[in-house]
Structure 1
Amino acid sequence: MRESSLEVVRGDSVLLPCSFFTFSDFSSLNVIWTLAPFSSPKTPVQVIVFDHGQVIKNPSLIGRVHFTGLPFSADIILNDTQVSDGGIYRCMVNNPPDTADPGVGELLLSVLEPPSLPVCEWDGAIDMGGSVRLSCSVEEGVPPPKIHWKKVTPEEISLPINMEGRYPTPVRSSTVFVNLPLR
């Protein structure tokens, strides 16, 4: 393996490299790619196989996975990556009558997902001296996004409330600034 780990953004394509060296011709070449997904690492699944000239793909990956350089390379390309594609990929190459044990390489693939917009809410008494509970959550994102809070001065931003005392819809922002005037 030329790489030990790779990152890709969900929806993009990624090349998973696997090189090998053999003294034999390619008539008996066997290449097996498997994935131990993060969601179930003890249950690896077959991704794609090259066996005696025939390519067999996992049905769920048809149209998304391809060998790129057979028979000289066991590299594969994975298109339209999904978060579920993340995990440990293993490439096993065997080419009888080579007498060496099959070569096995491992590669960790992380599929990053941009975070969704945070949904932020607050409740409580906004009167002077009152207590307010602030909360923000993000439904999607790999790795999970971190939310940071910062107290600002009244000149920087005001509390989102209109003159009738009604509250607007939840604030949607990657950074939340809330001003609670203290006197």
Structure 2
Amino acid sequence: MGALSRAALALAALLGLSSAALEVHVGTGTVFSVEGQQAVLPAWYTSHSQKQLYVTWLLTKDGAQPFQILTYMEGEVKVRETELKPRVGFLYPIVTHNISVFINASRERDSGQYTVMVDVADDDNSARKNVGVINLTVLVPPAAPACQLHGDPAVGANVTLSCTSRKGKPSPTYEWQRAPPNLRFFFPPAQDHARGTLKLTNLSLEMSGVYLCVAKNRAGSANCSIALEVHSTSTKAVIAGAVLGSLAALATVVFFTQRLISYRRKKRDGQEEAANEIKEDAVAPKTPSWPRRAASDTISKTSTLSSIGGTRDRPYGAPPPSDTASVLTAATSYRGPPPRPAGRAPNFSPQASNGTAPRREPPAGPAALPPSSLARAGAVPVMVPAQSRAGSLV
């Protein structure tokens, strides 16, 4: 009986030496990482076995089903998740019992619950200590916020300054302050740290300046600024009047410029049309009529002229008469005195045979032109009374 007891104790001791309890340890249950930086999930296991090892890392997001991202079996590492494939891996060799995992260039969507499971061929895992859990949260710093002014910054009025950032994890808080040299901090209720608003009431000219907003969270911070210029109502009216006056002056200049251009265009077109009409409809100028002279000169002139009928008796080629050589009459039956020889002076007799006053003889002229030639030259037919050879009217 004692021999059997001793044999059982020896067998139990042998079995206890050959088997060791498997246990997985994690450095922390929660890991925070900043977007773009490396995230490390620390884990290791204890076991006295040197048998084959099997390691699996799982990821669970937002309550969904877990899926494999990384495995180690028979000395080979495999990445199961396509999105993490170029960025995930074991931090140390597996033989060191360190099964920590790194994630390079972490992203916000990498956040979730990571679970590691270890199995060894001859280790006892009945206590279910071969599992470790780590929660990863990737933080996102605030994006550069946008500062805005709401309201008219006139003296005595109220305005609101707002500051918002389009992303950030966790949600950023906002803090307004007046920039140096007039540094000033604001507190609730004037400032809302969660919404990023700052209310300024009963503005004065001294409240003008630069206001700075800082958006921050655990991952970092960013800021923006806005210049507040408080103006009086009179200044506003002067500015509005100046703007309106400038616009009116500009409109006047444009109006008169258009009128001047239109006037010059019409004037040029009119000159071109007049030049075209002169070129197309031009006629020969009229020959001026004889100027009027005293009655005695007219009688003396017409008494010596011959009618147009006598010109037909001259031979061809005779010299043309002057404009006083002959005058057209209604009836072409009167003829003037015969032409004098060339170079002979006119004969003046002191007394006429009938006792009348002496008469001045006109100089001899060339032969009279035909009526058609005189008409083309612009001569005008004149009606004169019949005369005797002595120059008296019949």
Partner amino acid, structure 2, of 1:30 = Y
Runs of 4+ in structure 1 displaced over 6 angstroms?
177-181
1:65 aligned onto 2:88: yes
1:34 aligned onto 2:61: no
SS of 1:63 mapped into structure 2: coil
Relative to total residues, which structure has the larger strand share, 1 or 2? 1
SS of 1:84 mapped into structure 2: helix
Alignment-derived partner of residue 164 in structure 1: none
Change (3 A) 1:113 1:132: same
Alignment-derived partner of residue 104 in structure 1: 131
CA contact (8 A) 2:51 2:122 kept: no
Alignment-derived partner of residue 149 in structure 1: 176
The CA distance in 1 between the partners of 2:101 and 2:65, in whole Å, is: 21
With the length of structure 2 as denominator, give the TM-score of the two structures.
Answer: 0.38
Change (3 A) 1:70 1:125: same
Within 5 A, what are the aligned runs for 1:37-56? Answer: 37=61, 40-56=62-78
Alignment-derived partner of residue 89 in structure 1: 114
Compute the displacement of 1:30 (Å): 1.5
Change (3 A) 1:70 1:155: closer
The CA distance in 1 between the partners of 2:103 and 2:88, in whole Å, is: 5
Compute the displacement of 1:180 (Å): 8.4
Partner amino acid, structure 1, of 2:102 = I
User: CA deviation digits over 1:127-167, x for unaligned, max 9?
Assistant: 22323233211112222210123478x9557356xxxxxxx
With the length of structure 1 as denominator, give the TM-score of the two structures.
Answer: 0.76
User: CA deviation digits over 1:96-128, x for unaligned, max 9?
Assistant: 231214511111222222211111112222222
Q: Residue 33 of structure 2 is aligned with which of 8, 11, 17? A: 8
Q: Residue 174 of structure 1 is aligned with which of 220, 223, 229? A: 223
Change (3 A) 1:16 1:146: same
Consecutive unaligned residues in structure 2, runs of 5 or more: 1-25, 184-206, 215-221, 231-394
User: CA deviation digits over 1:27-65, x for unaligned, max 9?
Assistant: 2x121111223xx23333322111233322111111211
Alignment-derived partner of residue 75 in structure 1: 100
The count of corresponding residues between Structure 1 and Structure 2 is 170
CA contact (8 A) 1:36 1:44 kept: yes
The CA distance in 2 between the partners of 1:141 and 1:26, in whole Å, is: 47
